[in-house]
Amino acid sequence: MILSPARWRRPRTDWLRSIATALVALIAWEALARALAGTYLIAGPLEIASYLSDHAGLILRATGWTALAAAGGYVIGNLTAIALAAVAILIPGAARLISSLALIVFCLPLVATGPILRVLWGPGLGPQVTLAALAVYFTTFLPLQVGLRAAPPNWFDLVRSYGRGGWTALVEVRAMAALPYLIAGLQIAAPAAFLGALVGEFTGAERGMGVLTIRAMRSLDVAGTWSLATIAAAVSMLAHAGIGWLWRRLDDAPPPLILASLPDARTDRRWATRLNLILVVLVVIALWWLSMEFAGLNRFFAKRPDDIWAFLVTASGAADHRTTLFAALGQTLSLALPGYALGLALGLGLAIALLMLPALARAIMPLAVALRAIPIVITAPLVVVAMGRGATGTITITAVMTFFPTFIACYQGLKRTPAALIDLFESYAATRWERLTLVQFPAMLPAFFSAARMAVPAAILATTTAEWLATGHGIGGLMALTASTSDYGMLWSSVVLLALVAVAAYAAIERIERAVLRRYGAEQLVR
Amino acid sequence: MLVERGSDIGPGITCEGLSRIFGTGAARIDALAPTDLQLDGGRTTAFVGPSGCGKSTLLRLIAGLDPPSAGRVRIGAETPLEMRRRAGLSVAFQDAALLPWRSVRGNIALARKLARMTPDPAKVDDLIATVGLAGFEDRRPADLSGGMRQRAAIARCLATDPQLLLLDEPFGAVDELTRARLNQELPALWQARGVTAVMITHSISEAVRIADRVVVLSPRPARVVADIAVPLPHPREKGPALDALIEEVGAALARHAPAPPPARIAS
Ligand SMILES: Nc1ncnc2c1ncn2[C@@H]1O[C@H](COP(=O)(O)OP(=O)(O)OP(=O)(O)O)[C@@H](O)[C@H]1O
Ligand SMILES: [Mg+2]
């Protein structure tokens, strides 16, 4: 069921094994750095340590500013997510609209949104906080959406049998049932907020780690870049682990978390879907327009929907604009798609491999969970430098960004197969392969698909960041160009286009997910 | 008058042409055939019938937790919804429906909270003792066995002093001895106060022991196939009168048993 009484404790030997693995990794890292000394690629742990002690004051202050922005965005983003999820439950008619709007905002490309936020907010913390909030709210909203519905119908019948309605059910049943999901969301959100704040600082903040990172990269300061990446990783891992620790202090086992998309309501008709689509488009356009008008923002940099239309369709240079934009999009997608697919395949493959080799898994998993928290994107320029400015570097960074969440979701999904089913297979002395293909794989599918969906914006973020900071190709490169030439029409058009692509990709995966899950009936394992 | 009753007697229940069909087309399941029923106030009625015949469905319709496909339910002069709004009824669900994050005590107290009644810790602890859960007040449902959970659910039902009790196999997972004891003690709690009770059970002897009337349902879709009054005073001891009734209910059930699959003899 939802809460199990067993306390979650890892045996001491597992800790030792993890520490040993970490030590081996550190030594390998140092050895690699020494072997490649002179190529300006990798800084080893010792070099990083000496850099950090030399620049302790500077880095500490910068980390403080970034952490402040991240914390602000974290609070705002998560409160927004909680409020949205509660409204979607209390007003069932609004649920679809809210989910769709939430998804669209989630799909806004951070790299392209950043520069726009910078001109809207001006200097200061505004863009960093906003981007941090944007980076976290969906990863909290989605688990909450599932968690608030993750109670058996009988619990609601109990509330109804005393004549009480939706609000009482929300307070007495749903809120508590959703708590584990909320915590899991909050945990994932912590590193995401840090990453959002960093990207916000790339867009021209005065201080913070993002500023130092850009500076270090521009001057090819290898030790500096690696030191900053290490600090960012450490902060993210600490935040992730801290929330996990708090949760275990508070209550029981980490919850079985499967973020399957909510099953189609049987009453859902074609026309209802279309109506919703039209409604969503209208609401988005209206919100966009009204917010700009009410804030009295200058049309020169705060473009309205009709400006974009004119820019891409009716204005004199529209055809040229379209050519430029779609060429850039084509370039970006030609790298994002292979990277994304590679990340998914590797994540799935390694998860299955580790399931077959439990001893190795016990050593690697804690590290992998920790590594997931690292804002990999900030190493993008280094990776690109290392792999060359061609396609390989960008594809690699995209694959790595997709790989971690997929791998962890798949592994946890495989491990979460109901114990009774495993017992059943054991009782027939089934082989590991039979167990994998007949039970564990179907049981893992919901987790795999939810990871695949959530990774879409992450993959786009990785590709565009690499393009922006390193290669200068594709939409990311276009971004850098337009931001410096104040070509706001192009900037806004890129945001709209990338968001549309991400929403379409997300929806397409959701379709496949529903079809596959219906066939495997795996959603019954979720309930 | 067979039982001594309190001054205010619970409401009677009237079902008129009540039926329930789940799904449509190929997925259509007729759970309850159109049924007319009149259950007297202050009495305990037991429903027995084969598994999957529609007993739980009937109970949910009476509680108004499910909309009927046709027909209507009246509890006294009220609709089920009105009855629920004033916390006049309690349901013991087939699977206990305890909230896993609340203790036994917390789960039972929750009923009074949901019913907008003042907290009454003494009453809650009394009920816990009555159902034999003393010492487990602060345990969570996960620490209890299936039967213990069911007993906690019954205690929760009684915590709000309802006028109508709807019990769905309340003792289904309780061992034979405890069951016999609960059969003696619990019905006395509500029958003495004139509460109307509807109980679903798979145990014929339990039905005959507790109820004033036993209604036998057919395999799905449920229809009433026998309606047997139990005109014996409480508490009921084992004896020929009880045995005869058990025989009668058993025979009615057997007459309408689902057709067995064709016999196959291994060669
Ligand atoms: N929500 C539902 N949707 C579809 N079919 C349902 C639903 N609830 C019950 N049914 C069907 O209605 C029939 C009667 O179910 P019900 O739960 O009332 O049986 P029951 O008599 O209580 O059985 P048992 O003694 O095993 O508890 C079953 O065939 C069941 O499949
Ligand atoms: Mg039933």
- C-alpha of residue A169 to centroid of ligand 2, in Å: 23
Q: Report CB contact under 8 Å: B65, A164.
A: no
| CATH code, domain carrying A375 | 1.10.3720.10
Residue numbers in A near B90 (CB within 8 A):
161-162
Structure confidence by residue, pLDDT tens digits, A276-308: 788 888 888 888 888 888 877 777 777 888 888
Q: Is residue A273 part of a domain?
A: no
More confident residue, B223 or A1: B223
Q: Which two tokens stand for residue A16?
A: 């030792």
A160 and A220 in a single domain? The answer is yes
A260, A290, A309 - which closes a domain: A260
Q: Which two tokens stand for residue B38?
A: 């009149």
Residue A92, pLDDT above cutoff 60: yes
Q: Is residue A276 part of a domain?
A: no
Q: Please give the pLDDT value at position B172.
A: 81
Average pLDDT in the A27-53 region? 83
Q: Is residue A6 part of a domain?
A: no
Q: Report CB contact under 8 Å: A176, B99.
A: yes
Helix segments in A357-468, DSSP class H: 358-372, 380-387, 391-415, 419-427, 432-435, 441-466
Q: Please give the pLDDT value at position A526.
A: 42
A509 and A391 in a single domain? The answer is yes
- Domain of A44 in residue numbering reads as 37-260
Query: Which of the given ranges, A68-72, A466-470, A495-499, has the highest pLDDT on average?
Result: A68-72
Mutate to test the pocket of ligand 1, among B30, B57, B61, B65 (most ligand atoms within 8 A of CB): B57
Q: Report CB contact under 8 Å: A152, B97.
A: yes
CA angle A69, A75, A79 (to 5 degrees): 145
Q: Which residues line ligand 1 (CB under 6 A)?
A: B 22-23, 29, 31, 51-57, 94, 220
Question: Could you tell me the pLDDT band of residue A261, with boundaries at 50, 70 and 90?
Answer: very low
Q: Is residue A274 part of a domain?
A: no
Average pLDDT in the A29-39 region? 81
A43 and A160 in a single domain? The answer is yes
A327 and A198 in a single domain? The answer is no
A104 and A52 in a single domain? The answer is yes
Average pLDDT in the A210-218 region? 83
A260, A278, A313 - which closes a domain: A260
- Give the β-pairing of B29-39 and B13-22: antiparallel
- Give the β-pairing of B89-92 and B70-75: unpaired
A10-19, A480-489, B242-251: segment of lowest average pLDDT: A10-19
Tell me if A147 sits within 8 A of A177, measured CB to CB.
yes
- C-alpha of residue A422 to centroid of ligand 2, in Å: 28
A232 and A326 in a single domain? The answer is no
Q: Report CB contact under 8 Å: B87, A159.
A: no
- C-alpha of residue B168 to centroid of ligand 2, in Å: 7
A217 and A318 in a single domain? The answer is no
Residue A257, pLDDT above cutoff 50: no
A349 and A482 in a single domain? The answer is yes
- Atom 5 (ligand 1): residue with closest C-alpha? B22
Average pLDDT in the A124-133 region? 89
Residue bearing tokens 């960008």: A394
Q: What's the average pLDDT block by block, 10 residues per block, for chain B (267 residues)?
A: 54 92 86 90 91 90 92 91 90 87 91 90 92 90 86 92 92 82 83 89 90 90 88 82 87 79 61
Q: Please give the pLDDT value at position A34.
A: 85
Q: Is residue A294 part of a domain?
A: no
A174-183, A411-420, A491-500: segment of lowest average pLDDT: A411-420
A335 and A419 in a single domain? The answer is yes
Question: Could you tell me the pLDDT band of residue A6, with boundaries at 50, 70 and 90?
Answer: very low
Residues 6+ away with beta carbon under 8 Å from A73: A128, A129, A130, A131, A132, A133, A134, A135, A136, A193, A196, A197
Q: Is residue A183 part of a domain?
A: yes
Residue A259, pLDDT above cutoff 50: no
Side-chain half-sphere exposure of A511, counting CA atoms within 13 A: 6
Closest CA to B88 of B187, B12, B182: B12
Domain count, chain A: 2
Q: Report CB contact under 8 Å: B114, A162.
A: yes
Residue A1, pLDDT above cutoff 70: no
Cα Rg for chain B, rounded, in angstroms?
19
- 3-state class of A423 per DSSP? helix
Q: Is residue A22 part of a domain?
A: no
Closest atom, ligand 1, to C-alpha of B53: 21
- Looking at all shown ligands, the one closest to residue B168's CA atom is 2
Give how far the C-alpha of residue A178 lies from the chain's centroid of Cα atoms, to the nearest Å: 20
A304 and A417 in a single domain? The answer is yes
A180 and A243 in a single domain? The answer is yes
Residue numbers in B near A3 (CB within 8 A):
100-101, 140, 142
Q: Is residue A269 part of a domain?
A: no
- Give the β-pairing of B213-217 and B44-48: parallel
A98 and A159 in a single domain? The answer is yes
